[in-house]
Structure 1
Amino acid sequence: MNQRNCILYGGQLKHPTNLNKRAEEFLEEFKHSQVSLDSSPREQLIGDSWQPPPAMEYKLNFDAAIFLGLEKSGIGAIIRNDKGEVMAGMSAIGPKVDTSEEAELLACRRSIEFTVDAGFTRLVIEGDNFNVMHAISSDVANYSFLGNVVDDIRHLISGLQWATTSKIRRGSNKVAHALAQHAKNLDYDLFWLEDSPPPAMEALYQDLILL
């Protein structure tokens, strides 16, 4: 993990298979704590619902946020298993950026680095920016000024045991979006292991009720 100011919740990095039992316990606690939340009409959420990865795989959702007037951006990432249980999460401070595409690419790279550091090697990678997801999944050389970032991401993905990428609608990326927005007032990066990120609790609940 990058050597920078950060706060780590939930203990040391562990292999993903060791997180399942703890994740199930947190999931039950989360469900009990959220029973009073008003679940919006189910019909309105179906088209924008998060879908779990295949059994024995993990899904990484990432997002970026641009904060006008601030010298930084926000990065959000969440890793879940096929039951929708949270394996790890991140709300981090990114650099000042000029475009949403730059923000999304930097968030993608940082999120995959975080995922690799946490020990996950079989991933479904999802983001909601079409250009970014197309660029990282393509074999065509990228000669834009962000081409080096695209190359970094492709290299990280090639080092995984198994991976696939997918472009999703914004409504399916609510948890990562909430974590990216949460970085606006942070002075330190936040990481959660074996724990559900409090800034994204409502978004997590919205996803869980549709599984």
Structure 2
Amino acid sequence: MNFDAATFANGSGVGAVIRNAARDVMATLSARGAAVVDNEEAEALACWKAMKFAIDVGFLELIVEGDNVMVMSVVSSTSPNWSRLGVIYDDIGCLAAGLRYVAFSCIRRSASSVAHSLARYANVLDEEVVWFEDSPPPAHDALYFDSSFLNE
């Protein structure tokens, strides 16, 4: 599962794409979020929302990929986080503990174009939108680019 966040003047957005081992799109999410203080907060909340989404739709084995080095480092760590975002990181840890398998990976920003497109699309939404086993229209171009990247 790849996730990303976007920030807007009046809020934030979350995008997530879940693929199977054959790299087929299984589920995608675009959701609007609250205003955030900084990028780390946006990405941490996006990670939490994406993991909750994946669990809610029935995925219990995940490789979670995000492009924010700080967030991915913290969620990969077993040490407690005492920062202002510690509660969010704790919640992510609780979600992860309920999975049969989870691994966290920091990826290049260019590898999260689908999730980023979905996060930006959230700016025009009033409620979250989910697509199952289908290419979400807001990310068609990014999916084409992403499939080229994945085949390298």
Smaller-chain TM-score bracket: over 0.9
1:176 CA displacement: 0.3
Which amino acid is 2:6 matched to? A
Correspondent of 2:60 among 121, 127, 132: 121
User: Runs of at least 4 residues of structure 1 off by over 4 A?
Assistant: none
Q: Show the counterpart of 1:134.
A: 73
Q: Tell me the secondary structure at the aligned position of residue 93 of structure 1.
A: strand
Instruction: Quote the sequence identity (%).
Output: 49
- AA partner of residue 73 (structure 2): H
Question: Secondary structure of 1:140's partner?
Answer: coil
- Structure 1 SS opposite 2:45: helix
| Residue in structure 2 matching 1:157, options 96, 108, 125 | 96
Aligned equivalent of 1:67, options 2, 8, 11: 8
Shift in Å, 1:209: 2.9
Unpaired segments of 5 or more residues in structure 1? 1-59
Shift of 1:205: 1.0
Shift of 1:63: 0.5
Q: CA deviation at 1:190?
A: 0.5
Q: How many Å separate the matches in 2 of 1:147 and 1:188?
A: 27
2:106 is aligned with 1:106 = no
Give the structure with the larger strand fraction. Answer: 2
TM-score w.r.t. structure 1 length?
0.69
Q: Does 1:198 align with 2:116?
A: no
CA RMSD of aligned residues (A): 0.9
Distance 1:187 1:207 in 2: 27
In structure 2, what is the Cα distance between the partners aligned to 1:138 and 1:131?
11
1:83 aligns with 2:22: yes
1:143 aligned residue: 82
Structure 2 counterparts to residues 160-199 of structure 1, below 5 A: 160-199=99-138
2-structure distance, mates of 1:204, 1:90: 14
Q: How many residues align?
A: 150
C-alpha separation in 2, matches of 1:142 and 1:126: 20
**SS of residue in 2 equivalent to 1:78:** strand
Letter in 2 for 1:61: N
Question: How far does residue 177 in structure 1 lie from its aligned partner after superposition?
Answer: 0.3
Q: Secondary structure at the match of 1:209?
A: helix
In 1, the alpha carbon distance for the partners of 2:102 and 2:143 equals: 23
Question: Structure 2 length normalisation: TM-score?
Answer: 0.96
AA in 2 matched with 1:138: S
